Amino acid sequence: MFSSAQPNAHTDKVVLQKYLALSAGSSYTQACYIWIDGTGEGLRCKTKTLDFVPKSVEDLPIWNYDGSSTYQAEGRNSDTYLHPVKMYPDPFRGGNNKLVMCETYKYNKEPTETNHRKVCLEVMNKAKAAKPWFGIEQEYTLLSEDGHPFGWPKNGFPGPQGPYYCGVGAGKVYGRDVVEAHYRACLYAGIRISGTNAEVMPAQWEYQVGPTEGIDMGDDLWVSRFILHRVAEDFGVVVSFDPKPMEGDWNGAGAHTNFSTEPMRNPGGMEAIEAAIDKMSKHHIRHIKAYDPREGKDNERRLTGAHETSSIHDFSAGVANRGCSIRIPREVAEKGYGYLEDRRPSSNCDPYRVTAVIVQTICLEE
């Protein structure tokens, strides 16, 4: 289904399978170390051979890399360190092999500027009694390697939005092969993907991760993004997390974040939900700054008050209203307990920052 003009689609994946089927021996592990680079959005990886099969993340060695090539160090002092924090079965190599999410540390043992996991973990540990649960709806857009939305006419536009959301059929959805491969690969890796669907703009998709508690939300979402990039690479397609990939009358892309504490999830929890929304209303600016890598600059293009968004400048909340900052699902309002949905995070957000600021505001401040 993909054009042979795309370089990453040139190689024959059937030939590759012959080599991947070779046994590396029962005592070897290929551990693919994954980290966030200095942009706060890009993911990097490299693989280390271990002469044992790790049973837990504590078995994995600290490693290093050239931080000057990832916008995280100067060339004259470039060694940057990878601290493994979570391990997953590798859906690409199979067998004993692992994907390893890592934190990044500078030469002086301090976290790099884009290592927001360390602070997030501290926040989650402080709020552990509240049992904070998250579910993030990750939207993204598939592009051809020339940067044009995948499946769109090269010299024009598809028809107006309307038939594409949750659509079926070759004229309504583009790139389902990528979506299905990613879905299965994440389940193999143990990432709790709870669903997926085609989105409002053609070539735009969404998958949901969760419900997941505490720090696991950030770990699982970052690794699910890595898997998505890696799957798309095999198909010769590019994944964009840009929150407004196409200007004009097209929907942007977000990472709507569903959140609850144990009191919210229990009967009578609407009182706790309303109290949480009141706290969030007092810190709108702080949240907006944490909700995209450029502290609101990316979201300015998306949060306009149109295309199912609220205005970036105002805080709002409502039941079943997708034009609000915070949406209370109708089912939650009718039952009187459940969760809230923060619709402000951008699709390219750092989930460690998003989850940390939500917990900080709702659970740790009076």
| pLDDT tens-digit readout, 180-190 | 999 999 999 99
How far, in Å, are 185, 219, 237, 294, 341 from residue 70 at the CA level? 27, 20, 23, 18, 34
Does 8 have pLDDT greater than 70?
no
Q: Which run of H or of E encompasses 66?
A: strand 63-66
CATH (residue range 124-363): 3.30.590.10
Distance between CA atoms of 338 and 269, rounded to whole angstroms?
7
CA distance 145 to 337: 45
The answer for 178, left when phi > 0, alpha when psi is -120 to 50, beta otherwise, is alpha
Number of H helices, E strands in the chain: 10, 13
| The overall pTM is greater than 0.75 | yes
Question: Which CATH code, of 3.40.30.10, 3.10.20.70, 3.40.50.12160, 3.40.50.620, is assigned to 7-112?
Answer: 3.10.20.70
HSE-CB at 147 with a 13 A cutoff on CA atoms is 3
Query: What confidence score (pLDDT) does residue 3 get?
Result: 47
Q: Helix (H, G, I), strand (E, B), or coil: what is residue 249?
A: coil
In the predicted structure, residue 125 carries a pLDDT above the cut 60 = yes
Looking at residue 4, what is its pLDDT?
44
- Domains 7-112 and 124-363 equal at CATH topology level: no
Q: Rounded mean pLDDT of 22-28?
A: 83
More confident residue, 1 or 17: 17
The percent of residues in the chain predicted with pLDDT above 70, rounded, is 97
Backbone angles phi, psi at 112, to 5 degrees: -65, 165
Indicate the domain borders of the chain.
Answer: 7-112, 124-363
pLDDT of 205 > 70? The answer is yes
Contacts of 298 (CB under 8 A, 6+ apart): 242, 243, 244, 292, 346, 348
Is residue 2 very low, low, confident or very high in pLDDT (cuts 50, 70, 90)? very low
How far, in Å, CA of 142 to CA of 365, rounded?
40
Q: What is the pLDDT of residue 1?
A: 45
**Residue 5 confidence (pLDDT) above 60:** no
pLDDT of amino acid 366 = 64
Is the confidence at residue 6, as pLDDT, over 90? no
Closest CA to 291 of 259, 257, 260, 339: 257
The listed range with the strongest mean pLDDT (106-110, 157-161, 217-221) is 217-221
Query: Which residues lie closer than 8 Å to 274 by C-beta, 6 or more apart?
Result: none
Alpha-carbon gap, residue 358 to 279, rounded angstroms:
10
- Mean pLDDT in residue range 323-352: 96
